[in-house]
Amino acid sequence: MAGFCLLSLILAVAALTVCVTVLCLNGGTSVLSPSGRHMLCFCADGFSGSNCETDESASCFDGIGLHYRGPVSKSASGRECLEWDSESVREIGVYPKNLGPGRHNHCRNPDYSRRAWCYVRTASRLMKEDCDIPRCAKDNGSDSLTGAQSGWQCGQREERNMKVVGGALSAVERHPWMAAVFSRSARGRAFTCGGSLISPCWVLTAAHCFPDGTKTSIHKLSVFVGRNAINETDAQREQEFRVSELFIHEHFDNTDGNYNHDIALLKIRSPDGRCAKESSSVKTVCIPEAHQSLSVGTSCEVTGYGREQEGLWYYSQYLREAKVNLLSQDVCSSKAYYGNMITDNMLCAGSPDWSADACKGDSGGPLVCRVRDRVFLFGVVSWGEGCSRQFRPGVYTKVSNYYNWILEKTGLSSLS
């Protein structure tokens, strides 16, 4: 019995310890009542709030501010933020989650918006307003999709007319965001997939390029940008990188041939720790805003080092490009095409005469479309039935559906 009581006491203390740890954050100490119940937190220097959840020293935010826990409680217009759990906020029916513990009115970003924000009251209504909090400075321009802090301008290229299935040879300067992913094995280094440089430190590609998923040995991966040919080296054009991080979309599962959420990110670093340097053959491609779409029939380009036609056993030696047109979701998901294999996270593109298409080896590469004077990455080469088959267009991951996912994983800022 004594042993049982001692065990009970130990368990009770352990439970109380866990409770205190959860209640008081950032090194805060719980003050208990005589009955052992938590009353309040004594916060460590630099922190405040009922649960010590507010970091008083936070003067800026990284990425889009998902983890900002600073004290700012006014919107950019100078209006006082409303408490997140106030009755008026609850009445509009959009009470956000993931605000952190404690009752407060500090600026937060619980819904993956462009930056930290809060609800304010105007003369006529309750509304959501951004907060005027500066972004934390980062080196190498790695916190911007446009690379603005390092002078990069996404979606720019040289318009060379140098002549994928049904496609033509293309100089890498026409597609300077094109990346080539290689993997090393006992037999040497082999080309794996294409990709797109979306910031100096990040390459966007397809999840199915990594069949081992999260168990992929990233130390065996290398990435080239500015590479014009698979088996030729051009030191004046190309740059080589190691992979320091790999993010495969959490909901990608290809066990049943389902290519939904076929998207992945690679963080690249050179041996001396640098990211890509801008040149005529190395530039970033722009990312479309969340759920942005183009009209059916828009002419776009797909590029890659894949097979030039179905049935060939070898890949193209040189980078190739093909022009394809966007198809409607209704057409591509019709019975004559792919039926219910097409999800809202995919888009289809093909040439009117079915002569041009992506093919095996082009996986992970870019489908880009020009919008005004810049080039945007609207698709990632994902899958398709054969190459250039009638009523079987190429299927691409719809990049705009993953805008916020990209921001979350990379810490990149928005395009604005």
**What domains lie within the chain, and their CATH numbers?**
63-135 (2.40.20.10), 172-410 (2.40.10.10)
Instruction: Please list the residues that pair with 245 across neighbouring strands.
Output: 267
pTM comes to 0.63
Q: Reduced to 3 states, what is the DSSP secondary structure of residue 238? A: coil
| pLDDT tens digits along 136-148 | 765 444 444 444 3
Q: Is 262 a catalytic residue?
A: yes
Residues 6+ apart with CB under 8 A from 4: none
Pick from 88-92, 336-340, 377-381 the range whose average pLDDT is largest.
Answer: 377-381
CB-CB contact of 95 with 87 (8 Å) = no
pLDDT at 139: 40
| pLDDT tens digits along 71-127 | 999 999 999 999 988 888 877 766 566 676 667 899 988 776 778 889 999 988 888
Looking at the chain, the whole-number percentage of residues with pLDDT higher than 90 is 42
Closest by CA to 346, choosing from 382, 300, 376, 370, is: 382
104, 208, 249, 261: which one is catalytic? Answer: 208
Taken in order 215, 218, 220, 223, is the CA torsion positive or negative? positive
Please state, in angstroms and rounded to a whole number, the distance separating the CA atoms of residues 281 and 226.
5
Instruction: Please list the residues that pair with 248 across neighbouring strands.
Output: 264
Reported as half-sphere exposure (CB side, CA atoms, 13 A), residue 327 has a value of: 25
Q: Is 175 a catalytic residue?
A: no
Please count the other Cβ atoms lying within 10 Å of the Cβ belonging to residue 12: 11
| Per-residue tokens: 323 | 């022009």
Average pLDDT over residues 351-374: 76
Looking at the chain, the whole-number percentage of residues with pLDDT higher than 70 is 78
The CA angle 188-193-198, to the nearest 5 degrees, is: 125
pLDDT at 308: 47
pLDDT at 135: 81
Please state, in angstroms and rounded to a whole number, the distance separating the CA atoms of residues 306 and 368.
17
113, 150, 249, 262: which one is catalytic? Answer: 262
| Per-residue tokens: 114 | 């462009």
Residue 33 carries which DSSP code? Answer: P
The CA angle 30-36-37, to the nearest 5 degrees, is: 65
Please state, in angstroms and rounded to a whole number, the distance separating the CA atoms of residues 336 and 325.
18
**H-run or E-run covering 19:** helix 2-23
Please state, in angstroms and rounded to a whole number, the distance separating the CA atoms of residues 21 and 270.
41
251-263 burial, b for 16+ CB within 10 Å, e for fewer?
ebeeeeeebbbbb
75, 142, 351, 363: which one is catalytic? Answer: 363
User: Can you count the helices (H) and strands (E) in the chain?
Assistant: 4, 19
Q: Is 208 a catalytic residue?
A: yes
CB-CB contact of 393 with 332 (8 Å) = yes
